[in-house]
Amino acid sequence: MSTVLGPSPAEAPAGAAAPPPADVRSLLRLAPYLRPHVVALTIMLLTSLGVVALSIAVPLVTKALIDGPITERDAGAILPLGLLALGLGVLEAVLVFWRRWVQSNAVLGIETAMRHDLYERLQRLPMAFHSRWGSGQLLSRATTDLSAIRRFSGFGVLFLLVNVVQLVATTAVLLHMYWPLGLVVAAAAAPIVWLCMRFEKEYVVVSRRVQDEQGDLATLAEEGAVGIRVIKSFGRSGHVGEQYAAAARTLHATSMDKVRLSARFWTFLGAVPNLAVAAVLLLGAIGVGRGALTPGELVAFITLMLSLVWPISSLGVILAMAQEAMTASARILEIFDTEPAIVGGTRRIERPRGHLRLEHVDFAFPDAPDEPVLRDVNLDVAPGETVALVGATGSGKTALTALVPRLWDVTGGRVLLDGIDVRELDLVHLRSLVATAFEDPTLFSMSARENLTLGRSDASDADVAEALEISQAQFVHDLPWGLDTRIGEQGLSLSGGQRQRLALARAVLARPAVLVLDDTLSALDVHTEKLVEEALGRVLGSTTGLVVAHRASTVMLADRVALVEHGTITHVGEHRELLATVPAYARLLSAEAWADDAAVSV
């Protein structure tokens, strides 16, 4: 389900929208999620109003019972009124059950729809967005914040309305029964209204701080889990633990500020109705003594007053819930208001050949527009040809390969695939034509088979077996459950070389028109690398390849080599030609070869 939200505010650089205000407007912008559940919400409202009416009716029946049959000692009339009161109580219980049953389905549906749209938006947002946001902040918005909105939309907003109706209706009945006592009840509302307004202003600030700090803490927790091997290998568990503890102490202090503010507010809300009940009891007893009030009216009055204690006391919880929901909705809207900077076109390539061409390409990261990473890059890769990108660390090789599937967009020039600017192609279609295997591969907490078929869900067992053979990843058959073995998060149970081989098999299995290998073989030993390269040579014979290479053995896979220096391609030619005519290329490969020999000798 895709829900259209309200207009977004003016965009900040790189597509980041200005944070929406944490007030009722942010909640109203999420109101479209309620529309599919209008019937359920109507039932919830009507049943709740019915419960309010019954809660007022029962004390009135009690009044009639006391002032009538009991006072007059008419035993025959007691049973009908008693049964009426019992029937009203049973009906109230049935309405409460019906409301809760309908409510559960509706609110869970609302949360599910928001969670779906939030995840879909996160998938559409570009790398620039994800590089700015901590994963813990995104996680807290997808879990804690959505839960806060669900609680308020399913419980808080309904009871806020119902409690107000109950307060107004009950006060009107009390004024009608005996206006002096009704005025006492009405007067008790004045300090409550004043305190609620003050509480709202203070609570929204501290609530936002708590939710942001929860996101920071979640980021540290995730980094500690994912980076556990690095932390342990450097013996920095204590240091990282202290960072987490410091963030936890900060969150604790802010949470205690929130608790103290809530405690003061709820204490006051609890005291006001109890003081009002005591005043009503005292003045009512005096009224009965003077004959201005009947015993039945006093009992009904006290009963109705006691029925207001919960609505007033719960007002603090509901208002706190409302402030948390408004803050949560503002945080959610920060993501919804961030428009994707990379939007696909509508064109498709019916018969892809894999002809890749870069024309005068410039690129700079969005947060550093004045520091170009690539400048005036020109490269033509014919269909079925493999070009190796060779350059020193930081020369821009990885950034160049990321422009082909539009993980980043060029800031100047254009990238063409089969003569079509990649910005004009449908984004899903483009990324089905271009497969990338990264130096630092990402594996997901799913089975080995699911990780392999991520880019091609219809792959047969024979296709999977071929991809595993090419990447020399047959080790998966030795896992406890073979291809059905669940790979741990980030593949931490595997070695670096095993993760790279699985990622390479995934890219090969996709059968792309263009295969991008970003130093994919860096973690392989020499023997395994030689086997992989031999198999890759067969694959690259029919696929356009763009290979980031540091080793001479990897360069030999390519038909031509492009030397990348200081963000631009300075030379393009065959390996032997460049080795003989370009000193910088010879020095670069000599340095890499020396490093490899040193690693082997160690």
CATH number for the domain including 29? Answer: 1.20.1560.10
Whole-angstrom CA distances from 428 to 11, 117, 122, 347, 424 are 25, 18, 15, 11, 12
Quick one: 192 and 283 in the same domain? yes
Instruction: Please tell me whether residues 329 and 371 are part of one structural domain.
Output: no
Q: Is residue 474 part of a domain?
A: no
Spatial separation of the C-alpha atoms in residues 355 and 385, rounded to whole Å: 9
Same-domain pairing of 41 and 76: yes
Does residue 2 sit within a domain?
Answer: no
> What's the rounded Cα separation, in Å, for the pair 65 and 421?
85
The phi, psi pair for 510, rounded to 5°, reads -70, -15
Cα–Cα distance for residue pair 582/600, rounded to 1 Å: 27
Same domain, 28 and 103: yes
Taking CA atoms, 97 is separated from 280, 560, 592, in Å, by: 33, 74, 73
Give the separation between CA 467 and CA 420, rounded to whole angstroms.
Answer: 29
Residue stretches of the chain with pLDDT short of 70: 1-22, 197, 200-201, 225-230, 232-234, 313, 316, 488-493, 521-529, 531, 533, 591-602
- Residue 21: the pLDDT is 63
- Both structure tokens of 259: 């608790």
The predicted pLDDT at position 76 comes to: 75
DSSP code per residue over 84-151: HHHHHHHHHHHHHHHHHHHHHHHHHHHHHHHHHHHHHHHHHS-HHHHHHS-HHHHHHIIIIIHHHHHH
240 and 363 part of one domain: no
Answer yes or no: is 495 within a domain: no
Q: How far is CA 61 from the centre of its chain?
A: 52
**What are the strands of the beta sheet with 560-565, ordered from one edge?**
434-437, 514-518, 544-548, 386-391, 560-565, 568-573
Asked if 396 and 527 sit in the same domain, the reply is yes
CA distance 417 to 513: 10
In a domain, 482, yes or no: no
Burial class (CB in 10 A: 0-12, 13-18, 19+), 565: middle
Among 291, 306, 336, where does a domain finish?
Answer: 336
User: Is position 456 within any domain?
Assistant: no
Does residue 497 belong to any structural domain of this protein? no
Q: What's the chain's average pLDDT?
A: 80
Describe the crossing of helices 237-290 and 295-336 by its angle, rounded to 10 degrees: 150
What is d(CA 101, CA 285) in angstroms, rounded to the nearest whole number?
42
**Residue 5 falls inside a structural domain:** no
| pLDDT on residue 594 | 40
Q: Is there a single domain that holds both residue 427 and residue 538?
A: yes
Is 190 exposed, middle or buried, given 0-12, 13-18 or 19+ CB atoms closer than 10 A? exposed
The residue range of the domain holding 278 is 15-336
Residue in 325, 3, 328, 329 with CA at minimum distance from that of residue 157: 325
Q: What is the CATH number of the domain that holds 526?
A: 3.40.50.300
User: Into how many domains does the chain fold?
Assistant: 2
- 291, 307, 336: which is the final residue of a domain? 336
* Angstrom distance (rounded) from CA 505 to CA 133: 30
Last residue of a domain, one of 286, 301, 336: 336
Pairwise CA distance, residues 512 & 514, whole Å: 5
Single-letter amino acid, residue 42 = T
Burial group, residue 478, by CB count within 10 angstroms (0-12, 13-18, 19+): exposed
**pLDDT value of residue 562:** 93
364 shares a domain with 328: no
Residues 303 and 345: their CA atoms lie apart, in Å, by 67
The closest alpha carbon to 416, from 358, 376, 362, 360, belongs to: 358
Contacts of 263 (CB under 8 A, 6+ apart): none
Residues 277 and 305 in one domain: yes
Can you tell me which residue has the tokens 């080995």?
448
Distance CA 498, CA 141 (A): 34
For residues 530 and 496, the answer to whether their CB atoms sit within 8 Å is no
Contact indicator for 110, 37 with CB cutoff of 8 Å: yes
Same domain, 281 and 414: no
In a domain, 344, yes or no: no
Clarify whether residues 326 and 360 are in a common domain.
no
Q: How far apart are CA 248 and CA 253, in angstroms?
A: 9
pLDDT at position 110, please?
Answer: 86
- Indicate if 298 and 387 belong to the same structural domain: no
d(CA 214, CA 564): 43
